[in-house]
């Protein structure tokens, strides 16, 4: 029986499916077969580049992307792939030039592409450069939970914990069931010694949400302490089963060693990579915002749901109480006390309520809001 006819698009689509299943050898074989029939098919050359990049055949990946760009110099996926390859090869200047070309070609509004570039830079430790591309993604897609989470991861690697709190919680505001930012946030809180807040977030994900054993070990430890439970407790059992799936046996010695190995002599985290992965939107609040230019007494904050508020410190607390809704009928002092308790429970950061300015600055440290001005 004759082999069915395939178009170049069908070769590309089927190879994508194999690639997504991590069957890189099969994808590469299919793409090469397609290229014997369609040697000028740019997407097939690009697919070969990504398959060889996944197989860590960097020289061959670069050659494939170069061939694709010879056929189409403005192919965005080929440019992104070439930039990734140059990064892995240690050619930062060439990679950044290639990534900048994407911006010059006006692909900044492609938030998946900006995420891909940002993640490539993030993986290689270029956090400042990664944040630039994540911010471009946010500028064009402010409601993307993936972009918000990526900014949060980057902020943490840059030592900006308050900023990390805000963006990770912003991601969870956009997508409450998104496990990666919640696990990452829980790990940050654990490393800071904010144990109740860490447990609050660890308890809101399932064992299957974890793909690294660090968070699973920590959840087991915290649940055992909170419940005064042992390994046979029904709540602990699924977590131990997940550890087994991740290829480790659950015993106390491993737990102790994992914790020791993750710390510097001063008690800080040794390797931030242990944590799991992967223009401001200005909106007016009807009937609330005053029409005046910013002055020394007027500030701008952004809430977790992306709403931007302007006013004096006292006005901003009233505006925040109004948009939060739940405490709209209470006094400002009551609102600040309840809001502060919630922020402390989720991040361990104590939010003062003595004055509007102290309250808002404390809320910023807890990642509940961002002060923009």
- Residue 305 near residue 320, CB atoms below 8 Å: no
Blockwise average pLDDT, block size 10, the chain, 373 residues? 69 86 88 90 90 91 93 94 93 92 92 92 90 92 93 90 91 92 90 87 88 85 82 86 72 45 42 36 30 58 82 83 64 83 83 88 86 82
Q: How far apart are the C-alpha atoms of 372 and 370, rounded to whole Å?
A: 6
Position 325 scores a pLDDT of: 62
Position 80 scores a pLDDT of: 94
Position 331 scores a pLDDT of: 79
pTM of the shown model? 0.74
Position 278 scores a pLDDT of: 36
- Residue 98 near residue 83, CB atoms below 8 Å: yes
Position 233 scores a pLDDT of: 85
* Domains present along the chain, CATH in parentheses: 8-160+198-274 (1.25.40.10), 299-371 (no CATH)
Position 150 scores a pLDDT of: 94
Helices of type H across the chain: 8-20, 24-37, 42-54, 58-71, 76-88, 92-104, 111-123, 127-140, 145-157, 161-174, 179-191, 195-202, 213-227, 237-245, 252-261, 313-324, 332-347, 356-365
Position 145 scores a pLDDT of: 93
Q: Which residues pair with 302 in a beta bridge?
A: 308, 370
Q: How far apart are the C-alpha atoms of 65 and 292, rounded to whole Å?
A: 52
Q: Which residues contact 53 (CB under 8 A, 6 or more apart)?
A: 61, 81, 84, 85, 88
Position 326 scores a pLDDT of: 53
Q: How far apart are the C-alpha atoms of 249 and 75, rounded to whole Å?
A: 47
């Amino acid at each position: 029986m004759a082999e069915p006819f395939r178009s170049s698009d069908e070769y590309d689509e089927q190879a994508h499916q194999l690639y997504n299943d991590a069957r890189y050898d099969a994808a590469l074989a299919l793409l090469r077969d397609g290229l014997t029939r369609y040697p000028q098919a740019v997407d097939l050359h690009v697919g070969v580049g990504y398959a060889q990049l996944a197989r860590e055949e960097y020289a061959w990946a670069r050659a494939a992307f170069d061939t694709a760009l010879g056929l189409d110099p403005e192919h965005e996926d080929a440019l992104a792939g070439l930039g990734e390859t140059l990064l892995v090869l240690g050619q930062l200047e060439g990679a950044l030039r290639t990534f900048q070309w994407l911006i010059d070609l006006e692909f900044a509004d492609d938030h998946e592409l900006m995420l891909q570039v940002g993640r490539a830079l993030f993986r290689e430790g270029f956090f400042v450069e990664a944040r630039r591309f994540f911010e471009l993604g946010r500028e064009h897609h402010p409601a993307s939970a993936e972009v918000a989470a990526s900014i949060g991861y980057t902020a943490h690697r840059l030592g900006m914990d308050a900023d990390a709190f805000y963006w990770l919680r912003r991601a969870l505001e956009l997508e409450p069931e998104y496990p990666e930012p919640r696990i990452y946030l829980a790990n940050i809180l654990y490393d800071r010694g904010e144990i109740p807040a860490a447990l609050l977030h660890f308890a809101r994900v399932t064992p299957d949400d974890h793909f690294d054993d660090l968070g699973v070990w920590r959840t087991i430890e915290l649940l055992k302490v909170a419940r005064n439970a042992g390994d046979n407790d029904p709540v602990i059992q699924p977590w131990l089963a997940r550890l087994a799936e991740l290829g480790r046996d659950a015993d106390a010695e491993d737990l102790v060693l994992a914790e020791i190995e993750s710390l510097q002599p001063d008690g800080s985290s040794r390797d931030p990579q242990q944590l799991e992965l992967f223009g401001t939107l200005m909106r007016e609040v009807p009937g609330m915002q005053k029409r005046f230019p910013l002055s020394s007494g007027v500030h701008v904050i952004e809430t977790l749901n992306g709403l931007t508020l302007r006013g004096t410190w006292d006005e901003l607390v009233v505006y925040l109480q109004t948009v939060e809704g739940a405490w709209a009928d209470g006094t400002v002092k009551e609102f600040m006390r309840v809001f502060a308790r919630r922020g402390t429970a989720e991040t361990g950061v104590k939010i003062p309520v003595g004055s509007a300015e102290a309250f808002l600055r404390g809320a910023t440290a807890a990642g509940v809001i961002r002060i923009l001005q």
